[in-house]
């Protein structure tokens, strides 16, 4: 007969969850796990130090994307490149150990007639919520 300690099982499960949360908070991917909801804007560290990759929620094949960065989440400056035709932008030359904030806005072709007000950055007109990263 096998004895199971429920306290031991619960502690092991709690440690697994804490490790998962710590890894996700550090921006690490966990093999076999995926986020259930993708945000409007995601950031990944590049393979080269001082480089990051921004990925926006795609708005369609005729959309363009404007990108901005900030050191304090208040004063915004255009990224280089400022506009892309893909929902992705690679930013390099960033200072290691520095906190940066990024956001994007979708630029859609003008349509004739009235369109409803956009609700998200992926639908155009509005800036996305900013996303923070510490460059490594």
CA-closest candidate to residue 69, choices 121, 105, 28: 105
Per-residue model confidence as pLDDT tens digits over 57-102: 998 888 999 999 999 999 999 999 999 999 999 999 999 999 999 9
Domains recognised in the chain with CATH numbers? 39-110+120-136 (2.60.40.10)
Rounded to two decimals, the pTM is 0.66
pLDDT for residue 135 is more than 60: yes
C-alpha distance from residue 7 to each of 1, 16, 20, 51 (Å): 18, 14, 20, 45
Per-residue model confidence as pLDDT tens digits over 5-14: 556 545 655 5
Exposed, middle or buried by CB within 10 Å (0-12, 13-18, 19+), for 122? Answer: buried
């Amino acid at each position: 007969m096998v004895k199971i300690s429920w306290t031991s099982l619960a502690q092991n499960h709690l440690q697994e969850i804490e490790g998962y949360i710590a890894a996700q908070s550090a921006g690490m991917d966990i093999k076999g796990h995926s986020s259930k909801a993708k945000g409007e804007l995601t950031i990944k560290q590049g393979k080269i130090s001082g480089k990051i990759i921004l990925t926006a929620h795609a708005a369609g094949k005729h959309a363009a994307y404007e990108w901005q960065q900030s050191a304090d989440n208040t004063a915004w400056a255009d990224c280089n490149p400022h506009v892309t035709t893909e929902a992705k932008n690679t930013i390099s030359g960033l200072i290691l150990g520095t906190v940066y904030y990024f956001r994007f806005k979708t630029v859609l072709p003008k349509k004739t007639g009235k369109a409803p007000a956009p609700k998200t950055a992926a639908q155009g007109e509005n800036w996305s919520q900013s996303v923070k990263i510490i460059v490594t």
